[in-house]
Chain A
Amino acid sequence: MMPSTEVANKVREAINALKGADLQDPRLGEVLNLASQMSEAMRIFFSSIDRTLFDEMRYISSYIQRTRSEISNLRPTDLSEDRIPTAGAELHAVVEHTAEATNLIMAVAEDVMGADTSDPDAYQAYVSEKMMEVFEACTFQDITGQRIKKVVETLTHIEQRLERFANVMGVEDAELEETPEDRRKRENLLNGPALNGPEVEQDDIDLMFGTDDAAMNQNDLDAMFD
């Protein structure tokens, strides 16, 4: 079959040639034939467009349905209204409980340090009584341990659901834009406490600040960046 553009050109040529001709001209038949071919070509062209669009729309619809289903599996309402607030409340309770215990222990220590020592027997009895308060305050550890375990379980739960979602949807990490808060943290080197103890031990820091031969000078410090 002739390409549609070629058919259209031929029709245009034929029409131009026919201008002024009478209706008995045999070329009229040729024009009608070409018009018919063009009509057929256009029909096939538009039906292919319809089919492609239909397939595309069906794919998008299916993708949206799958996304809705996966988001539903994430149970976002459960996360935002129950699990995350509960985890936050647990951590808040841990902070409060540890602060309470620490303050109690420090108050006991301050009382003992300021106690009257003139009567050894009375002082010993007083210290023993105060030490019992310290033991009692230390019971916070068991409760905070249980609370933190619940928070860790929640985080693991969220991590697993998000990981599954990302895998199913083929999601890849986007480039993150630095927020003003991120920038402040970077500029002020706000890294927070390191896991498993300090990254640089106190002894190594002492070497940097010491005055003996083993101490690091500025060049040594600079060399750590090279």
Chain B
Amino acid sequence: MAVDMNAPVLVVDDYQTMVRIIRNLLKQLGFENVDEAADGREALEKMKAKKYGLVISDWNMEPMTGYELLREVRGDELLKPTPFIMVTAESKTENVIAAKKAGVNNYIVKPFNAQTLKAKIASVLGDF
């Protein structure tokens, strides 16, 4: 199935610089419809108000972490199917396994490059 490039993507990160980087990379990949949230709680509110085709979230944020957001999303029947990619500096084995067990679709360790982001989005949404 073709990837809907117009489906909104939600980028969740408390560092505006990182949001800007991911937004630019997504734009280069053809995703123009990008929203932002500064932590899990804000992201959850936006997800309840709007259907997103993909969530790209950092892990370490306050007051709600990306890990907590992931578990909230996977525990909500309506939000559950939303593809979720974690982009984080948390690179311990326990983090990756915990995210996988919580239902994350893919996991990117910072620092990352455009090729990695594209490959992981493709693995989750399909080739585009």
Q: Give residues in A with beta carbon < 8 Å to B.
A: 99, 102-103, 106, 109-110, 113, 188-194, 198-202, 205, 208-209, 218, 221, 224-225
Residue B50, interface by CB 8 Å: no
Bound Cα distance from A157 to B37, whole angstroms? 41
Q: What residues on A are CB-neighbors of B93 within 8 Å?
A: 199-200, 224
Are A200 and B20 in touch, CB under 8 angstroms?
A: no
Are A189 and B24 in touch, CB under 8 angstroms?
A: no
Q: Give residues in B with beta carbon < 8 Å to A.
A: 17, 20-21, 24, 28, 59-60, 65, 67-68, 89-98, 100-101, 105-110, 112, 116, 123
Q: A106-B24, A209-B100 are in contact. Are A190 and B90 (CB under 8 A)?
A: yes
- For the residues of B in contact with A, the DSSP-based class is helix
Q: A106-B20, A110-B24, A202-B112 are in contact. Are A189 and B91 (CB under 8 A)?
A: no
Query: Tally of A-B residue pairs with Cβ under 8 A?
Result: 76
Q: A202-B109, A205-B109 are in contact. Are A188 and B68 (CB under 8 A)?
A: yes
Closest to B98 in A: A189
Bound Cα distance from A192 to B89, whole angstroms? 6
Are B95 and A194 in touch, CB under 8 angstroms?
A: no
Are A193 and B91 in touch, CB under 8 angstroms?
A: yes
Are B123 and A209 in touch, CB under 8 angstroms?
A: yes
Are B91 and A199 in touch, CB under 8 angstroms?
A: yes
Ordered by A's residue number, 11 sampled pairs between the chains whose C-beta atoms are within 8 Å are A106-B17, A113-B28, A189-B90, A189-B94, A189-B98, A191-B94, A199-B93, A205-B107, A205-B109, A221-B97, A225-B97
CB distance from A187 to the nearest CB of B (A): 9
Are B24 and A191 in touch, CB under 8 angstroms?
A: no
Q: What residues on A are CB-neighbors of B123 within 8 Å?
A: 209
Known pairs A193-B91, A221-B101, A224-B93 / 13 extra A-B pairs, C-beta < 8 Å: A99-B17, A106-B21, A188-B65, A188-B67, A192-B89, A193-B89, A194-B91, A198-B91, A200-B93, A200-B96, A202-B116, A209-B107, A221-B100
Closest to B64 in A: A188
Q: What residues on B are CB-neighbors of A113 within 8 Å?
A: 24, 28
Are B109 and A192 in touch, CB under 8 angstroms?
A: no
Are B97 and A205 in touch, CB under 8 angstroms?
A: no
Are A208 and B96 in touch, CB under 8 angstroms?
A: yes
